[in-house]
Amino acid sequence: MIDKDLEQINSILESEDSRVELEKYYPEEYKKYISEQSLNEYRILPVLVVTAIIIGYVIEKLIKWIKEHKQKDIQELSTNLKKLDDKFVKANAFFNFGGGGPKVKKFEKTDCEIRSIVLKDKDNPSKFYKLALDFLAYNPEYVTKNLEDCFRYCETLDADAKASHLKVYRETTLKTIYDSFMNKHWYILSTEPYCKSAMYNDVRVGEVLRTYKSWIDWIHDALKAYNEALEVQLQYLQLCNQAYNNLTNKYGKEKEYKDTIDAIFKTVIKNANLSLEFNNKAFIILNDMVKFYTEALDTLVEKYKK
């Protein structure tokens, strides 16, 4: 399941006419956003305002999404995980005769299901990788300096040479971004978080509890990683927003410069959205795993109650 907002933002960025997609998904928010903007703020030609608003809106939309989900998701998973921790303590005590449990020892055997979260290869569904949350974050300061150096050099060229240099610069920079993305974040496109299930027969109760506990501890670590990933992505997008606005205000009056800024930042923001989608899928599975192990502990205890 993909978060609806992230899916729609991706559709906006992929569309040849992003304005139409944006108005379709967020008509009221879009109108409000436009009313809050002014030509003086952007200091660019009217024909370029729509593009600036689309990219600026999407960046702010992603920032808002992270702030809301950072609070909601972390709280939800933390609450569910606390219930699971308490459930495990009681179940462990139950089988240790500490909770008025049955006359059964931990070497009694039972059947059980174990669920784990992995990355599944999209092209080869039988191939799995260890889960890794994504921490995509380019360096907005480097991008800003790089663009400004390019624009300063362009001022020394005639019109034809300037247009040619900007064309080569855009192509080279976009290729660099693509190569970096595919080298460090290839798994976002090639794999997807996946819940893997396996059934085991005649397993000692004690071993079942130890396995459950190992996955509970692992989920605790994954929760910390998810929180860190959201924090990194929030700071990154805030810096992107600042860099984009500064560059647009400073150089956006010239269409060739504005097109270059937009092409680069649209790609950067698209990749950031893919990263958020990827981590959000992992979060959904993590939350489902917590619920599964909570129910599994109830089922295990219930089986041996008199």
Predicted pLDDT of residue 43: 39
Angstrom distance (rounded) from CA 240 to CA 276: 15
Instruction: Give the closest residue to 151 by CA, choosing from 253, 236, 50.
Output: 253
C-beta neighbour count of 182 within 10 angstroms: 12
The model's pLDDT over 207-259, given as tens digits with 9 standing for 90+, comes to: 999 999 999 999 999 999 999 999 999 999 999 999 999 998 899 888 899 88
Predicted pLDDT of residue 31: 62
Q: Which two tokens stand for residue 74?
A: 């972390």
Sign of CA dihedral 256, 257, 259, 260: positive
Q: How far is CA 99 from CA 16, 84, 103, 232, 252, in A?
A: 64, 17, 12, 44, 70
Backbone angles phi, psi at 205, to 5 degrees: -55, -40
Query: Residue ranges of the chain with pLDDT lower than 70?
Result: 1-3, 15-53, 97-106, 306
Predicted pLDDT of residue 42: 40
Q: How far is CA 269 from CA 13, 63, 182, 277, in A?
A: 8, 11, 15, 12
pTM value is 0.84
Q: Which two tokens stand for residue 5?
A: 């907002």
Q: Where are the domains of the chain?
A: 34-303
Q: Which helix (H) or strand (E) holds 276?
A: helix 255-303
Predicted pLDDT of residue 1: 44
Collapsing DSSP states into helix, strand and coil, what is residue 304? coil
E strands, the chain, are 109-121, 128-130, 191-204
Angstrom distance (rounded) from CA 236 to CA 232: 6
Kindly give the pairing relationship between strand 191-204 and strand 128-130.
Answer: unpaired
Angstrom distance (rounded) from CA 247 to CA 147: 8
